Every structure is written in C-alpha cells, then in structure tokens.
Amino acid sequence: MTKYIVVSGGVISGIGKGVIASSTGTLLKSLGLVVTAIKIDPYLNIDAGLMTPLDHGEVFVLNDGGEVDLDLGNYERFLDVELSRINNITTGKIYREVIEKERKGDYLGKTVQVVPHVTDAIQNWVENVVSMPTGPSGEKPDVCIIELGGTVGDIESAPFVEAMRQFQFRVGHDNFCLIHVSLVPVVGSVGEQKTKPTQMSVRDLRGAGLMPDLIACRSSKPLDESVASKISMFCHVAPEQVLAVHDVSSVYHVPLLLREHGVIDFFRRRLNLDALKISDERRLAGEKLWEQWSSLTRSYEYCHESVSIAIVGKYVDLHDSYISVYKALEHASLAYQRKINIKWIDASDLETDTLKISPLKYHESWQNLCSADGVLVPGGFGSRGVEGMIMAAKWAREHKIPYLGICLGMQVSVIEFARNVCGMPEANSAEIDEKAKDPVVVYMPEISKTHMGGTMRLGLRPTIFQKGSEKSKVRKLYGNKLSVDERHRHRYEVNPIHVSKFEAKGLKFIGKDETGERMEIVELDDHPFFVGCQYHPEYLTRPLNPCPLFRGLILAAMGQIDKI
C-alpha cells in the first residue's frame, strides 16, 4: 500500500515546508522508491492563475496547462517528475466539486456539510492522485508527500486538517506519517533560541487530532542540544524525532542535512519501507541519483568564479515571483562551475520618468544593467515597466551583451527591433496600446476576452525548428533536434504579418508552432547571443539537467558560447 507523509507548518507560513517536503521526497527516491507529491492550498481560488506574483510568488505551469503554486515547481525539480493539475488541491476546487455533486443530486437529499462531505472529497482526491501512474515506466507511487499549506490553526485550513485526521485511520498507522515544520526564532543580543512558538503550534496540532512523528525546527543557526531536548520534552516526542533544520548555503544541502539526522532510518522503521518491493534497476537508479546529488552540493561549495545576470522584471520586489527563472540560472551556472550573481532590476526604474522622481534609483539600475555579463527579461502582464524592458533589450542588442527574453521578454525584443532597426517608431504591443499604429504583438484570436481564468495558451506544446536554422545557436543547444516541447503561458503573440520584414533585417524566427503561423523562437544574426522564446523554458529546469537556453545564456555571459 502507498505510504503517506504529511508536511504541516506552525508559527508562520513561508518557513520552508515546500523545501522540506521536496527534500524528503529526494531522500526516499534515493532508495529507489517512486514518489509523488500533493500541495494543498487552502485559498478559495480554483487555481493560482489569476493571483499576483507579489502575493504568492510565481505561478507555475504544468504539462497539462495547470496553473499552480510554486511549490509544485520545487517538487518537479527535486523529484524529477512531471505532475498535473490534480496534484494541487485548493479549497475552490473541493467546494466546486462538492457543490456540483449536490446540484446533480449525488448526496440523495442529505444535508451537505464540511464533515463528512468536504472532508471525504479531500481524502478521495488524495487517493485519486495516488492511483495515477508517476514513475518513468508507468508505476504507481510508493510514497505520496502531502504538503498542507498555511499554518495549523488557520480557519481556512481547518477542513484539510480534519481530513488528514480522518485519513490517518483510513490508511492505517503504518502508512501515515506527519512532519511538522516550526520556527525556532533567535531573539535578543545573545541570540537565544526560543521554543515556546513550537510548543504552541504542536499543541494546536494535537488539539486537531494529529500527532507529529517528526518536528523539523527551522532556525537561522544550528539548534542547541538543550533547546532540542526541551522541544522533545514539551512536545512529547523522542529526541531523535526533533530535526534541526538550520539555514544552509543552498536548498540542495537540505536532503543531506536530513539524511545526517537519520531521517531515512526513521522512515524505514516508522513506515516499514523494507516491506515495499523495489526492483534492482530502481534501487541502482536511486543510488546513482544520490551520488549525483551529493556531487552537485560539493560543486556548489567549490565554485569560486561567478557570472552576473541582470533580471529586468516587473515583480522584482518579491524574488519568488521569478523563482523558476532563478533556479534555471543557478542550475545552468553550476553546470559550468560558476556561482550566479543576480542583479535584480525593476524595469520601471530604467525609464526616464524615474530619473525625475528618483535619480539615484535610476542611475543605480542602469549601472547594474551595464555591469552585468548578461541580461534576462522574464514574462509578465500589463504595461508597467515595458518601456524599461525595451530599453534593456536595446542596450543588450547594441552592445552585444547576451540577452534572453522569455514570453513578454521575447515580445519586447521584437518591439525594440521594429522601432530601432526596421523604421517602425510607433511599433508596440496591443497589450500596451490597443490602438497602436504598428501592432507587432497582437492578441491571439482564439483566446477569450471575457473570461480570464484558465483561458490562456497553456501547457506543453511543440516548437518546430524551421528550415535554414541548422546553424542556429539555439538549435545546437537543443542537440540539433527537429522540434522541442516546452510549456507556455500567454495571451499575446508576435504579429505574423511583420515577420518577413524583421527577418530581412536579421531577426530570424527559427522556431514556430505546428501551423507555422505562431512565432516561438527568435534569434538575432551577428550577435553573440540574442534570443527570445514565447514559451517558458524555466518550468522544465532540473538541478542535474539545466535548460538549454539558460545554458546558452550562461555560456555567452562567460564568453564561451562558441563551445556549444
């Protein structure tokens, strides 16, 4: 039977439940087990698609077009799996399902209540996820990790906590385990570690009917032995069940930290993992994975040279808005033994209006842009900051600085080229100016203009390399394939009626969709690396398998693009 590991949180949100859940999955996968993951988000939204990145961080897109919480990106990167929208549960999804059943008469006239109808729907959803194939050969998961978003005690998460309380009896004690992640703050001039918040959150958890098997104590420094003993005593767990998860140099070290604390041996005993049948092939694959992971963390420690990339975006106040972009850059730089130095630039600060309002911010932003080894303009929506992005693209093109534009970043590079090379000074995007004289970026005709949620061009779609692209740097980075499958999330596209004009001036559209009408990849002639893509390559990055386009940007920033 499938084993379930629930990861809950206490004290505050955002203390690393997702990383601990992902790291736990990595450890179990190193044993040769097939692992899947579920993220429970207790908000009423159906999905994360319409949320601002400044509230919850990036919206992560899956192969099936699901727009989900960024933690599913962590799961995919750590576990090297491809999840689907069913792996993200929200209150909105559960209530919609329950209400639709009620309208169809499935409850046979009963009064529909949170208990049992909503809690049953949550448990059934979890079991549906586990019934889906996850492994590379279509195996069903041996272990399912369930991250419970928010903190225990929140009103909105109460139905999910109750569902997990019931679920532990549905699946049995030997198949259910709970990790509670709590904060141990360091206060005062002497740096004293306080245990009371953890004691209170564990008390709330027990009051809800759930008992922690492991308490992962997050702290800025290693946990003092006396503090761990105190938590063990007052939270009614053995000393070995208290995990000190202090800040480390990178998230890739967390699985090693958990392994040092004996987490694997604990799970072997607590969940009777040795009773699971694991083929020799999977066992060997797990051992190889752990060797590669350990090597990755060592290489991180011994990277002494760095490469700097300017990220010119709209949501840089919250770096999690671009977490997949950051991870893709980090993975690519580690592949070439470099540490990544990100220069975060708010695109609006590059615009001349900022010079009048805040000259210091304006000059600092331009200094960061001009001193970077490469420039990356990521995706985004709306008009704010677009002119600053266009200026960044112009700087990179004119000064032969490596440039990668993703989604909106590709579109602004086309607008810049149209204005400054093709003699179209009023070129713009219909998203920015609906009445633009020269709309070089237009609204896709099949996209709804009345409904926003889930109506974009979403998910995994093919990009076909065009005839004549055989010598393209991008195509070489992709191993000279005829086509590639990448994830998309956009409403606007390059206007195909202007393509011939751009190509005549050297901006080549080397990748298009199956119809040949939708532009997917653009590459500039006579430039070390000036590339734009309509898709989001960062969604498929892996620590041990970086994205080709990000590898290209890093190589170009190192001055070694000719090595591909």
Q: Which residues are catalytic?
A: 407, 536, 538
Other beta carbons within 10 Å of 407:
21
The token duo for 51 is 């949320």
By the 10 Å C-beta count (0-12 exposed, 13-18 middle, 19+ buried), 448 is classed as: exposed
CA 271 from centre of chain: 29
Strand-pair partners of 493: 442
Q: Is 486 helix (H, G, I), strand (E, B) or coil?
A: strand
By the 10 Å C-beta count (0-12 exposed, 13-18 middle, 19+ buried), 373 is classed as: buried
The CA distance from 513 to 505, in Å, is 22
The CA distance from 232 to 213, in Å, is 11
Contact assessment for residue 219 and residue 246, using Cβ atoms and an 8 Å cutoff: yes
The DSSP string of 28-66 is HHTTT--EEEEEEE-SSSSSSTTS-HHHH-PPEE-TT--
Contacts of 510 (CB under 8 A, 6+ apart): 465, 466, 468, 469, 472, 474, 475, 521, 522, 523
The CA distance from 174 to 550, in Å, is 44
Counting Cα atoms < 13 Å in the Cβ hemisphere of 546 gives 23
Nearest of 259, 327, 319 to residue 14 by alpha carbon: 319
The CA distance from 212 to 205, in Å, is 8
Q: Is 430 helix (H, G, I), strand (E, B) or coil?
A: coil
- Name the DSSP letter for residue 341: E
The token duo for 83 is 């999840």
The CA distance from 522 to 525, in Å, is 10
Contact assessment for residue 88 and residue 38, using Cβ atoms and an 8 Å cutoff: yes
Strand-pair partners of 519: 512
Q: Is 82 helix (H, G, I), strand (E, B) or coil?
A: coil
